[in-house]
Structure 1
Amino acid sequence: MDVEIIIPRALWRSLRNHLSLDTENASAGTDEQLAFLLAGKSIDSQRTKLLAREMIPARHEDLELQSGSAVVPKQDFVLRTLNRCQSEGWQLIEVHSHPFDTSQRTTFSGIDWENDRRKMPALATLSTQPFMHATMVLGKNSADAHYYDATMKEIGAVSRIVIIGMDDEGTGSVLEKLPTTSGIATRPNEGSIRPEHQRQEPILGVDGQKILQNTTVAVIGLGGLGSFVALELAHLGVGRITLIDPDVIEVSNLNRLLAAGASDEGKSKVEFYKDLIERAFPEVNVTPVAASIIEESALSLAKQADLLVSCVDNHGARLVLNHLATRFLLPLIDGGSGIRLSRNRGLAAMGGQVQVVVPGAGCLECRGFIDAQKAAFDLAPPDFQQYEREHGYGTNEPAPSVVFLNGVVASLQVGEVVSLLNPDGLKSLVPTSLYDALSRKLTPVQTRYDELCPTCGKEGVQGVGDLAPIRVPGSSD
């Protein structure tokens, strides 16, 4: 089983500060420190993710023993934490430091292994519900982690620790994957760069290209934006692409769907682009999902991705994706384009926006890009939508659209994908970019994280994972 630990960057910084691992805290001493992380989880057929949500730091009064080579928490401190896991449904990540270790291969000591072999099976028997317990050790420059597999009754390696998002200081990569010491030993061969991608190597680097080859990106919506995005990702060499869209190709789509013609009318969009990509790039693994993102079949495959690209055209789908990204700590790159006509049918405005949603940067809801009333209409059952239209709400009138505008916005989205995944990529983040096609201007907009947001705020649903899965009334699944 492939297991990852996902940690929001602000929480990662707080954890390292508590463990006295950052250079500015070196004067805090050389004793080992300890903390517990409460985590949600995300389980699918490919891997299990522990989604860190909250840190419970062990203070001096919570410790039975503390020295430069050992740290032992008091029993009542452990029990209080376990009671929260039991009553609230969290998984547990136990973290301690090796402040003396400055190597690139921090790992568990013999004492650590002896303690884990004793306590991990015992903790697994205490819970009346499925419970995952992982331990993590952090040195100055590296980390290791393992978990207890209750089914196999053995300890297994956590493959990597993923740090995602922004902290209050705006420092560090927005998406950083740290292989654990144990994970490095078990990591499969990432392969070599294919000849058709060699001209990208000076831009992306060898490591950047290999990351693309080993990444799964879900593209939701295969209209004017999504058709561009899917094909550009394939050209770049993304190894696995999940395509999600319930619709078939219609004549009215042909002015903006790349490579589609009149003879393709009636074909499933996802099957059409799967065939197109795999003919041109047989090494790309494409998974077609002919379903709406509000359906369980689509949601379950979308959450398996490493990154979500939203190319949807309504507030309801955008709301679902915003929650999916927030609950499962998945980077979301949302795009939209639009044309507004004046009263005399002249061109009044034309442009689009690209937004990146990661922990600490706010979400589409607190930025004000989702209309709650329109989202409720979009997510309502078809008979209710029909009733509302008959009484003057909503419209089936198609919006104006041109292929070149979609191409610009889609390419901006793909550029954000590359920047997020590249190990030398984003060190800072522009959450929102606005494109004005009439003035040829791209304007970066800094937005603030709202800690009171009911979705991504401190009391919101960030990192809850499968503990609070998304359920949409009226979906077919």
Structure 2
Amino acid sequence: MISPALALTGVLYDRLVDHLYPGDRKEAAAILLCSRTPGPRLRLLAQDAILVPHAACKVREPDRINWPGEYLERAIDLAEPFGLAIVLIHSHPGGLFAFSRPDDDSDAIVMPCLFQACGDSHGSAIMTPDGAIRARLYDSDLNKTAVELVSVAGHDLRFFWECDAERRDRAKRPMAFTSDMTAELKRLSATTIGVSGTGSIVAEQNARMGFGRNDYVDFDKVEGRNLNRILNSTLKDVELKKPKAEMFAEAVATYRGPGVAFPVTKSITTREAVLAASQADVLFCCVDTLEARYIADLISSAFLIPLFDVGVSIPTRRTPDGAPAIADVCGRIDYVQPGRSLLQDRGVYTPDTLRAEYLRNAFPEAFRAEVEAGYIKGVAEEAPSVIMLNMRAAAACVNEFIARAYPFRLDSNEKYARTIFSLAACEEEFMAETEFTVSDNPVLGRGAQEPLLELPTLAPRREKKA
């Protein structure tokens, strides 16, 4: 996929816009502190920004700026202990979406200082009044490489492409459901975590919509009880005990060709799967365990990847005569943008529910005791025929992505952080981002720093000495 790339959260992007364009039509500057993905794809992840005060600048004019070196020294002090990359960004109020000769001259002076002080992959960037960002990276010999993609994961998803830099309408997003949308999707990568009932339907839509790279994370194998709800699964797959991820990737290759679909036959709780997911532009979480959602939450935050999580449920009740009955048929779609509320903040999982799930898997007898005590409600069915519910929820999930990347709603996307639908009540409810309390997020923008996601279980394995 396209490399290198620079990713920003919507929160940080909004701060930059406000600072770089205060309304006086003069240049302004800031310094981005960026971690990295583990590779092979180079994505710089903007952790934070040092905003150079307007009043501190020695010169601020519509076409030039000169600011004190003390802010660069502060950036170096913060970046050096963690090997962060430094990207200098300033505004071009006149609208020039290119690096000027003064920009080149400034970089020629500053970049050697950065390489001498800390790390590598430092760079510079510009922002025009329409909010578009263009960036470039330097190596230690001061060779320049254009950043092919600058992405912003906010209420809307914004993508600024180097290959579109010369177009006058570069900041305009393609229209939803058009060939222009398909053309851009070919440049992007999507990772689907879980390709079972709901996941296979999400993944099918993404592959046919045109994502250029599709990764499927699932450790499980196809079983007979899956055939009523997993797209593309066959009796032959059951006989061969084929991994779901492999089955699905092979199916996609029959209509998209090679080099588009890639299976990751590992649990998302493993280092291998986390590393694979870290390369994506978009995450889709379609799992049935809370632990997997917890890991997806962390991956989204650590690698600044927008996350779309979907879940379905058919809660049951008891009739007066004691027979089981349907209480509701419902689905939930959450859009999680790094830097704002997590799935945990929204109550999708809690420490207590994670513990209960662990208890069920590790100590089934103790789990059954809690069921009998009334802590776990409802009637579970091993192979429920819910493909129609899965399709309803999966379509809503993918449409949520389209609405974010190619806005078509009449209202702001900020109002639709969560969607819940009830087929029993024929209702659909929406919750805004402001309805959730944002907790501290220590892994935000952590990137490749070890241990991954701050989880010791994901630390690299040490080879045994002979």
What is the match of residue 70 of structure 1?
A: 64
CA contact (8 A) 1:360 1:449 kept: no
1:403 aligned partner: 387
**Which residue of 1 is the match for residue 40 of structure 2?**
45
- Once the two structures are superposed, what CA deviation does each residue of 1:41-78 show, in whole Å capped at 9, x if it has no partner? 224113x2222232222124533444444322223332
Question: Which position in structure 2 is the counterpart of 1:230?
Answer: 203
- 1:70–1:380 distance in 2 versus 1, CA, 3 Å: farther
Determine the structure 2 residue equivalent to 1:260: 233
Give the SS at the match of 1:461: coil
- Is it true that 1:14 corresponds to 2:15 in the alignment? yes
Q: Which amino acid aligns with 2:195?
A: L
Gaps in structure 1 of 5+ consecutive residues: 167-173, 186-200
Q: Which amino acid aligns with 1:12?
A: Y
Q: Does the aligned pair in 1 maintain the 2:360–2:367 contact within 8 Å? A: no
Answer yes or no: is the 8 Å Cα contact 2:149–2:159 preserved in 1: yes
3-state SS of paired residue (2:138) = strand
Return closer, same or farther for 1:388/1:134 CA change in 2, 3 Å cut-off. farther
Residue matched to 1:375: 354
Q: Distance in 1 between matches of 2:359 and 2:164?
A: 45
Instruction: Check the 8 A contact 1:34/1:57 in 2, yes or no.
Output: yes
Deviation (angstroms), 1:371: 2.4
Deviations 1:316-353 (A, max 9, x none): 00000011111211111101111122232221222111
Work out which of the residue numbers 182, 206, 224 in structure 2 matches 1:251: 224
Shift in Å, 1:453: 0.3
SS in structure 2 of the partner of residue 443 of structure 1: strand
Contact 2:50 2:71 in 1 (8 A): no
Answering whether residue 341 of structure 2 is matched by residue 362 of structure 1, we say yes
Once the two structures are superposed, the pairs formed by residues 268-283 of structure 1 within 5 Å of their partners are 268-282=243-257
Residue matched to 1:441: 427
Question: Do the aligned partners of residues 235 and 146 (structure 1) sit closer, same or farther apart at CA in structure 2, a change above 3 Å counting?
Answer: closer
1:19-98 superposed matches below 5 A: 19-20=20-21, 25-26=22-23, 28=24, 30-46=25-41, 48-60=42-54, 62-98=56-92
Corresponding position of 2:171 = none
Verify the 8 A CA contact 1:220 1:245 in the aligned structure 2: yes
Change (3 A) 1:238 1:160: closer
* Deviation, structure 1 residue 243: 0.8
Distance 1:76 1:366, change over 3 A: same
Q: Which moved more, 1:286-295 or 1:397-406?
A: 397-406
Measured on the aligned residues, the alpha-carbon RMSD in Å equals 3.1
Residue 445 (structure 2) aligns with: 463
**Offset at residue 202 of structure 1 (A):** 8.8
Identity %: 23
Equivalent of 1:432, from 415, 418, 421?
Answer: 418
Structure 2 length-normalised TM: 0.84
Q: 1:367 to 1:88 in 2, by over 3 A?
A: same
How far does residue 309 in structure 1 lie from its aligned partner after superposition? 0.7
Q: Which of 157, 164, 167 is residue 175 of structure 1 equivalent to?
A: 157
Partner of 1:320: 295
> Which residue of the partner structure matches residue 120 of structure 1?
111
After superposing the two structures, state which structure 1 stretch, 252-261 or 419-428, moved more: 419-428
Partner of 1:204: 177
Task: Describe the SS at the equivalent of 1:413.
Answer: helix
Q: CA deviation at 1:273?
A: 1.2
Q: Would the alpha carbon gap of residues 126 and 270 (structure 1) be closer, same or farther in structure 2, given more than 3 Å must change?
A: same
Distance 2:365 2:139 in 1: 52
Q: In structure 2, which of residues 402, 411, 430 is the aligned counterpart of residue 418 of structure 1?
A: 402
TM-score (normalizing by structure 1): 0.82
Q: Which amino acid aligns with 2:406?
A: N
